[in-house]
Amino acid sequence: MQGRPLDGIRVLDLTNVLAGPYCSYHLMLLGADVVKIETPGRGDLARHLGPDPELNRAGIGASFLAQNAGKKSVELNLKDLAGQRAFEKLVGVADVLLENFRAGVLARMGYPWERLHELNPGLVYCAISGFGQTGPMSQAPAYDQIIQGLSGMMSVTGTAETAPLRVGFPIADTVGGLTAALSISAALAARARTGEGVHLDVSMLEASLSSMGWAVSNYLVSGVAPEPMGDQNSTAAPSGTFEAADGPLNIAANRQEQFETLCRLVGREDLVLDDRFAEREARKAHRVELNTELNRALRSRSAQEWEQILSAAGVPAARILTVPQAVELEQVASRGFFTDVPLPGGAALPGGNVSTARVSGNGVLFDGVPLRPTGPAPALGADNARLPELFTRWGAPAEVTS
């Protein structure tokens, strides 16, 4: 791979916490030069979020470290003249401006799209918000949990007895950030042809609805409202979580040949001949009975044994792991997914003898090479003194007149 796809792209990042920082983290992995513009003395709220109080007090909470490696930090007060002039000089030469304020906040600070476009006609301006910049809910506050509930996501998570349930990680923030990164990349490709910038208005609610795939489309197309089914797959059977000798096992025998192979390998070829299970729709209608029969057979071996046996025969199957187990998978390590980066300012993790944090990649190999962070997450204002150098590198005048 010759360089990175976004090498030379300059990103001004005004974002906080997760959706926006997650977006700019992926732009950084792809090669962009990302500069966080942070509120003096306070910075990104995520600096104080995470399970370790010491890191939170130091302004390098785990939530911040995870999404901000490879970026730079400059403190600017956009409410005073010097800060505004510095910001405008950077906007004038930036390729991307990213923010995730509530709708209209940046405009009320004196920077509507029209003003930004005037400062830089080629600027790609991306605003991420809970509901988008327009519409009757545009001014409502929104966090991940709020979007999960409004999107219908929680209504289909869990079982009939336990739903609605929140997905176990902030998926609406994550999807919103990925949608923004995709949109920015597309806008940059279009700008290469036209020279014109664009205003991207990303709604986390709409991005979440889009990501829900069949749960939404089945209702829109067929009028069938999805229901919570726990660990079962509404489109196929047997497909879900089953009981091995030592714990749960996921099996997704979604095709006829996979079902037949599964029955053969567990010693229950008779199930293929049973009218209740002979074809897909019959299996879905008699899911409970089929699962009961398969669980009896699957309890004869461990989950890891079945994973190896079934996978080798082309039946998708795998153990259910905890997060600590998942991050130690040899498969993930073999592709270089995680990277150890130094902590800002030589800080140490609890215990005092570990000065690095492990952060994730983006799951893509470019010409066989994983994309890694270019450096650690920045301490608040770590690049304040290098602002003149930043002006020069980005092609803006170095002087900022107060």
Q: For residue 244, which phi and psi values (nearest 5 degrees)?
A: -90, 180
Pairwise CA distance, residues 66 & 377, whole Å: 8
Q: Please give the structure tokens belonging to residue 360.
A: 């994730």
Q: For residue 44, which phi and psi values (nearest 5 degrees)?
A: -60, 130
Q: Are 89 and 83 in contact (CB under 8 A)?
A: no
* CA 113 to mean position of chain CA atoms: 26
Q: Please give the structure tokens belonging to residue 158.
A: 């869990």
Q: Are 121 and 36 in contact (CB under 8 A)?
A: no
Q: For residue 182, which phi and psi values (nearest 5 degrees)?
A: -65, -45
Nearest to 228 by CA among 240, 243, 210, 220: 240
Measured between alpha carbons, how far is residue 116 from residues 8, 138, 260 in Å? 21, 21, 61
Q: How many helices (H) and strands (E) does the chain have?
A: 18, 13
Contacts (Cβ under 8 Å, ≥6 apart) of 366:
1, 4, 5
Examine the residue annotation and report whether 80 is marked as an active-site residue of this protein. Answer: no
Pairwise CA distance, residues 308 & 152, whole Å: 36
Q: Of 33, 44, 95, 173, which is the active-site residue?
A: 173
Q: State the catalytic residues.
A: 173
